[in-house]
Chains A and B, each alone.
Chain A
Amino acid sequence: MWDLEANRPIYLQIAERIELQICSGEYQAGDKISSVRELAQEAGVNPNTMQRALQELERKGIIVTFRTSGRTVTEDKERIRDLRNHMAREQIQDFLKKMKEMGFEKEEILEFIREEKGEE
Chain B
Amino acid sequence: MEDLIVIKDLSYTYHSYRKENYVFDEFNISFTKGKVVGLLGPNGSGKSTLIKLMNGLLSPTKGEILIHGHKPGVETKAVVSYLPERTYLQAGKTVKQMLDYFEDFYQDFDKGRARQMLQNLGIDEKAPLKTLSKGTREKVQLILVMSRRALVYILDEPIAGVDPAARDYIIRTIIQNYNEEAVVLLATHLITDVESILDEVVFIKNGKVILQSSVDEVRETHHKSIDAYFREVFAC
Contact = CB atoms under 8 A, between A and B. Distances in A.
Interface string A29-52: 000000001001101111111001
Nearest to B184: A46
B230 to A, nearest CB: 12
11 contacts: A6-B195, A7-B219, A7-B224, A9-B219, A40-B175, A45-B196, A45-B197, A48-B34, A49-B199, A49-B216, A52-B216
B220 interface: yes
Contact of B172 (A6, A41, A47): A41
The 10 tightest CB contacts between A and B, nearest first, are A6-B225, A9-B216, A45-B196, A9-B219, A46-B197, A48-B199, A7-B223, A9-B220, A7-B224, A46-B36
Interface string B171-198: 1100110000000000000001001111
Contacts of B198: 46
Could you tell me the dominant secondary structure of chain B's interface residues?
helix
Given A9-B216, A11-B216, A46-B197, A41 B175 contact: yes
B71 interface: no
Interface in A40-85: 40-41, 43-49, 52
Given A9-B219, A10-B216, A44 B199 contact: no
A117 interface: no
A86 interface: no
Contact of A10 (B34, B36, B171, B215): B215
Given A6-B192, A43-B196, A44-B172, 18 more contacts: A1-B168, A1-B196, A6-B227, A7-B224, A7-B228, A8-B219, A9-B220, A41-B172, A41-B175, A44-B171, A44-B175, A44-B197, A46-B36, A48-B34, A48-B199, A49-B199, A49-B216, A52-B216
Interface of B: 34-36, 168, 171-172, 175-176, 192, 195-199, 215-216, 219-220, 223-225, 227-228
Contacts of B223: 7-8
Nearest to B219: A9
A96 interface: no
Interface of A: 1, 4, 6-12, 37, 40-41, 43-49, 52
B198, B199, B219 interface centre (most CB from chain A within 10 Å): B219
A41 B176 CA distance: 7
Nearest to B34: A48
A9 B218 CA distance: 8
B216 A46 contact: no
A45 B199 CA distance: 9
Given A7-B219, A11-B216, A46 B172 contact: no
Nearest to B225: A6
A12 B34 CA distance: 21
Nearest to B171: A44
A11 B36 CA distance: 15
